[in-house]
Structure 1
Amino acid sequence: MREITFGTDGWRAVIAEDYTFDNLTRVARATAAWVQQQDAGDGSVVIGYDTRFQGAAFAKHVACVFASAGVRVALANSFATTPAVSWATADRGATAGIVITASHNPPEYNGFKIKSHVGGPATPAMIAEVEAELPNAKGRFKIKEFGDLCDEALIETFDLQTAYTGLLGEKIDVEAIKEAGTRVAYDAMYGAGQSVVTELLGKPRVVELGHELNPGMHGQAPEPIERNLGALLEAVPASHCAVGLATDGDADRIGLVDEEGAFVDSHKILALLVKYLHEEKGLRGDIVKTFSTTDMLDRMGEAYGLTVHTTPIGFKYVGPMMVEGDVLVGGEESGGMAVKGHLPERDGLFIGLTVVEMMVKRERTLSGLVRELMDEFGPHYQSRTDLHTTEARKQAVLAQLSGDGLATVDGKPVTATETIDGFKFRVDGGWLMFRASGTEPVLRVYSEAASQDAADALVAWGVGFVEGDA
């Protein structure tokens, strides 16, 4: 059995290998001990789960562990999204939220996410405190029966998904979308977002994909990136939809498809949100982006007089800034983003529906909105590959980059080097970035340039460099 550690967004493991009821007991006991040490909130927790194998059983077990330790629990009575748990945690004044989910990981995984009392991700410091309790969460521990804990009022169940859907209905101009007759295709990727868009917009306006309980997810990781969305890319134009939405397993990440069946990446979505909220809604605030995210946001900050902050990669760095500062839009390249006036948390459905609202209010197609961005702030195209290599080669590349760095990239002189989280080398007209996985022999290679061909060429050169061919 491997040591239990929390990664970028919680603890995740393969079901029946390391993700077992015994290990869940340890993690829940450690988290319960941490909750009982906190001053924030009322000392209770909210627990939800997604559609993965045994999700309901795992969540019920975790609820019993918390309640047996003396922590009051509000348990979702069916699957619900991660942002729903985050919202309910803050709304109910709880100390923490727990989500049984492995997010966008392959279907054989499950996980355990912790949310803070403010309705966003637990901070790295909070997670470190929970990890410090793990060695103490061993030995005999009596877990009481679920029914007895309910009778003692230590566990209550509630309809979280319906309450969350109602929240979205209040925050999105659903009537405007309905009146416009906008038709939407929504791929829930067999995850927790199922039914929400249909409930809001009505069945005639929604083409549903991935809307069934299928814990196997046809063997595909529920990650809303272009290579996983073939069915949605085809369905949008074939079904005469104005837009396609896709969310990951717990619906905190978003992917979009325009009316022509073209994928719209997170870089463009973030930029669209900044433009809409600032120009159309008159809002101000800082822009927070992670290290691998587009320079277009910097151009927009300059144009609008908004401060732009760049953080290491991971929403755990963005969320606290949403809480502590005045942030208009914050997000990352991998599809997680948040906006002013909602939660300090990634919320794929809220972001997707905000873009649909934007299209209606601005009377533009999604492709038209993207072209408008390019015309106003210049062309910005991105490319990325996750390169599997040997651990020895990975370490050799990192040693070279941290030592001498690179003087040229694809024949172009390097004008600046940035090392916030990985290594970014700027050249005339773009940049190339390398970032290593902390757990696998994987090097991620990113780029941005003024054309897709140029961005792809930069990544191809970066791959050649890693493989020793450049």
Structure 2
Amino acid sequence: MQVKFGTDGWRAIIAKEYTYDNLKLAALASGAYFLEHPDKSNGVCVGYDTRFMSKEFARFTAEVLSSMGLKVFLADNFVSTPAVSLFTRDHRLAGGVMITASHNPPIYNGFKVKASYGGPAHPEVIDEIERNLLTVDPETEVTPVPELISMTDIKSYYVGYLESKLDLKLIRESGLKIAHNAMYGAGQDMITRLFDESMINCYHCSLNPGFGGINPEPIPNYIADFVEFFREVETDVAIINDGDADRVGMLDEKGEFVDSHKLFAIILKYLVEQKGQRGEVAKTFALTDIIDKLCRKHDLTMHLLPVGFKHVSRLMTTNDILIGGEESGGIGITSFLPERDGVYIGLLILEIMARRQKTLVGLVEELYEEFGFFSYNRLDLRVAESRKQAIIEAAAGGKLTSIAGFPVTGFNDLDGFKYHFEGGWLLIRASGTEPVLRIYCEADSTEKVEKVLAFASKLA
């Protein structure tokens, strides 16, 4: 079977596994699920990002779904993944499909399934779709029904929702100078709709299916040129989004990268301490321990989950979740949408800065003052399968007694192999979206993080 759903949908190399034939199978299997949904008569929506052939793949997906008798709201332009989720929820659709490979290299494309509640389909839904794949006939003839396909301005609907959920007037009056790096992705043409052009410096806000030779992922590895640009234009803060704009990273006024660990903690602290909000908190296995400390301080229930926002989204639809997030830049607030959203979260940080009259540096320093300094980094090892398995074997089972000379104080194998040591932790796990081995570390010094990562990369 050429179609296999991973941590967040099906992703494959264009023209190798990601072909029209395999896309047809994914669409037919998903359509079979949608046809069993109580809201099937309301239809489904299909969106797409800025990747090579995404528009054409989305059109084909809509044609397959229409041939099954489903009404399809097809995006009339590229949109972010959260925009598709929002439109699906607010129009009570049976579900949605987003053609994207998110942060993957440009040779990939993908297929994300969105559920009626406006978030990633629960794992059991994906299981059902994969079971449908086993019975789908690849020779099924696709006969599009044009009258069932409605070209729809999903982007404007989403931007209007942003305007209703954020204090944009406060941000405008703050005088903040903002930079936005869309990484050539679907987040471009959203923030610029909300502010006067004198407030915004756009970077990589154009169509480039090759993404300038990088992965469209908002992490330090891929933003060196943007940091130079940011410092040249003397901007106060920057929002960086991935290819489908559901992830976020930021730069403070010094041009230093602020990762999602710190952004998550800043937002949680603000929601509870400034806004007086309560609720449970969901975090995935690779996210900072500062969240645990904040939850203990405010007596909030915290859920520790496997990697993948679909696990967070599930709890957002079943529990009283205030905020949920993951290491890779995905943060979601249930009152907005049970979905991660890089544009919304970036703008919310701007709102916090404006309301509290603090710089992003100041907000991060508050965390350090309360919880001590903490540093984080991640290595993505693209190594031979034999090497990958050797490292996994060396880390499995909690057999390591020390990490780079630091005695092990705890072990957890919820998703991969996580070792705690004094002042930090190490996690080793295989990616669910790319053929790489990920090595994560958080510690109380940058030097310790680099030492631990170097140790882990040489295991076995």
Q: Which bracket does the TM-score occupy, shorter chain normalised? A: over 0.9
Can you give the 5+ residue segments of structure 1 that lack an aligned partner in the other structure? none
The one-letter code matched in structure 2 to 1:150 is P
Q: In the alignment, does 2:146 pair up with 1:150?
A: yes
1:178 corresponds to: 172
Contact 1:232 1:257 in 2 (8 A): no
SS state of the match for residue 329, structure 2?
coil
Report which stretch shifted further, 24-33 or 243-252: 24-33
* Distance in structure 2 (CA, Å) of the matches to 1:93 and 1:436: 36
1:247 corresponds to: 241
* Distance in structure 2 (CA, Å) of the matches to 1:79 and 1:121: 19
**Cα deviation digits, residues 268-324 of structure 1 (max 9, x gap):** 011011011111211111121111111111111111111221111111111101111
Of the three residues 315, 321, 324, the one matched with 1:330 is 324
TM-score, normalised via structure 1 length: 0.94
The one-letter code matched in structure 1 to 2:103 is H
Report deviation, 1:238.
2.0
* Distance in structure 1 (CA, Å) of the matches to 2:381 and 2:206: 33
Contact 1:300 1:377 in 2 (8 A): no
Contact 1:390 1:441 in 2 (8 A): no
Contact 1:120 1:343 in 2 (8 A): yes
The one-letter code matched in structure 2 to 1:402 is A
* Distance in structure 2 (CA, Å) of the matches to 1:443 and 1:292: 14
Report deviation, 1:368.
0.8
CA gap of 1:219–1:389, structure 2 versus 1, over 3 A, is closer
TM-score, normalised via structure 2 length: 0.96
User: Which 4+ stretches in 1 moved above 6 angstroms?
Assistant: none
Of the three residues 352, 355, 359, the one matched with 2:346 is 352
* Distance in structure 2 (CA, Å) of the matches to 1:139 and 1:426: 48
Report deviation, 1:410.
2.2
2:407 corresponds to: 413
The one-letter code matched in structure 2 to 1:53 is F
* Distance in structure 1 (CA, Å) of the matches to 2:131 and 2:397: 34
* Distance in structure 2 (CA, Å) of the matches to 1:227 and 1:142: 45
Q: In the alignment, does 2:34 pair up with 1:35?
A: yes
Q: Aligned residues, how many?
A: 460
1:64 corresponds to: 63
SS state of the match for residue 415, structure 1?
strand
> Where in structure 2 are the equivalents of 1:258-407 lying within 5 Å?
258-403=252-397, 405-407=399-401
Of the three residues 144, 161, 166, the one matched with 2:160 is 166
Contact 2:41 2:70 in 1 (8 A): no
SS state of the match for residue 83, structure 1?
helix
2:117 corresponds to: 118
Report deviation, 1:7.
1.1
CA gap of 1:3–1:351, structure 2 versus 1, over 3 A, is same
1:55 corresponds to: 54
**Cα deviation digits, residues 52-108 of structure 1 (max 9, x gap):** 122222111111110111111111111111000000001000010101111111112
Report which stretch shifted further, 264-273 or 453-462: 453-462
2:200 corresponds to: 206
* Distance in structure 2 (CA, Å) of the matches to 1:241 and 1:386: 30
**Cα deviation digits, residues 4-23 of structure 1 (max 9, x gap):** 11111111122222222222
Contact 1:42 1:93 in 2 (8 A): no
Q: In the alignment, does 2:186 pair up with 1:187?
A: no
Contact 2:21 2:138 in 1 (8 A): no
Contact 1:84 1:160 in 2 (8 A): yes
1:91 corresponds to: 90
